[in-house]
Amino acid sequence: MNAVLIAVIIMLALAMLRVHVVVSLFIGALAGGLLAGLGLDGTLVAFQEGLGGGAKIALSYALLGAFAMGVAATGLPQLLANQLSTRIGGAGSKWLLIGALTAMAVMSQNLIPVHIAFIPLLVPPLLKVMNSLRLDRRLVACCLTFGLVTTYMFVPVGFGSIYLNDILLFNIQEAGLDTAGMNIMSIMAIPALGMLCGLLVAVFFSYRSPRDYADAPLAGQPAPAEVVPFKVGVAVVAIVATFAMQIVMQALDFASDGLMVGALTGLAILLLTGAVQWNQADDVFSSGMRMMALIGFIMITAQGFAAVMSATGQVESLVAATAELFGDNQFAAAGAMLAVGLVVTMGIGSSFSTLPIISVIFVPLCLSLGFSPAATVAIIGTAGALGDAGSPASDSTLGPTAGLGTDGQHDHIRDSVIPTFLHFNLPLLAAGWAAALIL
């Protein structure tokens, strides 16, 4: 039995049994390494070496958390929450809230690329609003995850530029396929439609019924900040500057450092203008870093898991076995490659980390099976994104839980992971399969 497959199954099973995600990832990695013959020492060495790869991600998230809490101290999130709260009671209140949160998730990937940092500072003040609307938080988790994932896999701006251009097309070209002149948005449009179908099912069928929650106290949340126009204006300037700095870093080919530099730029503006007082800065920023610390630690552990999976050398054998099983059958081979992508990403928790692993194997396999260049890009792009929604270790599920679970009434696995897995991975798998055969 393939060690990578066994490791992912063990990790997911433990997470489903409410074992902490960090522990689940470690035990899964240990089992995979031992089954692959790495031995205890070899497995632990690979795991420890992988941890370093997640340190940069964790630091970026910590700085984003500090920046987010600094913005919260200016009163901007409270102002937005108040504006939404005043509109409660009308027939369209539910749709206004759902639409606003989905739009914010979309903009967090390109227009204001703060990624998931906006969720734990904007969503908690809205929990009472959701309670009064009897809104199912599983639906909100689906809306947030839809915006986080669909945007980067379809729109080549911000995080989407990194995923589509710097990682997807680059690695495919490195593997021997010419990608010059390809319209990446038209290729990924079919998979994106699959994500949209999943969202519509969640909105209009799965979670349309009311669900009751208690107005419980929020854990670890600061007192509502006073809304001061000057500070709100500075916060808007800081957000724009954060976005602009990431664009500049991307233009200078330092896109991977854009989050850190952008967050530091925003923090500097908040401090130098006095929007955040110097004597309050330490408390504000420390609480922001604590807010994102768990997510960052899980991402570090996920990188260790990924390193062990790579060290086993059995990702390649999993793909080779798949190719041998289906031979020249394009229909079956496309489905199998997408399933492999799902398994790998579910374990690693990052689409961005999955693509370099599978591209070098999938490109020659697709060419040998007669897939067109566009179909090859669609298969690999979809295989990378599959599993981001629905992975216990993915920031696309950890982020919604960080906001929706602050009052203890939203379970990470049952209310974020399982709903997003069912509503996005299944239609995305079907849409990617269709794209492989149509393009």
Task: List Cβ neighbours of 266 (8 Å cut-off, separation of 6 or more).
Answer: 67, 70, 71, 238, 239, 241, 242
pLDDT (mean) for 157-168: 74
Is there a contact between 129 and 89 (Cβ–Cβ < 8 Å)? no
pLDDT interval class at 200 (50, 70, 90): very high
Stronger pLDDT, 285 or 204, i.e. the higher one: 204
pLDDT interval class at 224 (50, 70, 90): low
Stronger pLDDT, 196 or 96, i.e. the higher one: 196
Q: For the chain, give the percent of residues with pLDDT over 90.
A: 6
> b or e along 241-264 (b: 16 or more beta carbons within 10 Å of the residue's beta carbon)?
ebbebbbebbeeeebeebbbbbbe
pLDDT (mean) for 310-314: 78
Residue 370 has pLDDT above 90, yes or no: no
pLDDT (mean) for 334-358: 73
Residue 256 has pLDDT above 80, yes or no: no
Question: Which of these, 43, 41, 35, lies nearest to 7 by C-alpha position?
Answer: 35
Most confident of 122-131, 138-147, 225-234: 138-147
The runs of H, that is alpha helices, within 118-161 are 119-122, 127-133, 137-154, 159-161
3-state class of 49 per DSSP?
Answer: helix
Per-residue pLDDT tens over the stretch 53-98: 666 667 776 777 777 778 777 777 777 767 766 666 555 778 888 8
Question: Which of these, 231, 392, 387, lies nearest to 301 by C-alpha position?
Answer: 392
Q: For the chain, give the percent of residues with pLDDT over 70.
A: 81
Residue 267 has pLDDT above 60, yes or no: yes
pLDDT (mean) for 334-359: 73
Per-residue pLDDT tens over the stretch 384-419: 888 778 788 777 888 888 888 888 888 888 898 899
pLDDT value for 146: 92
- Residue recorded with tokens 């990682």: 167
Residue 372 has pLDDT above 80, yes or no: yes
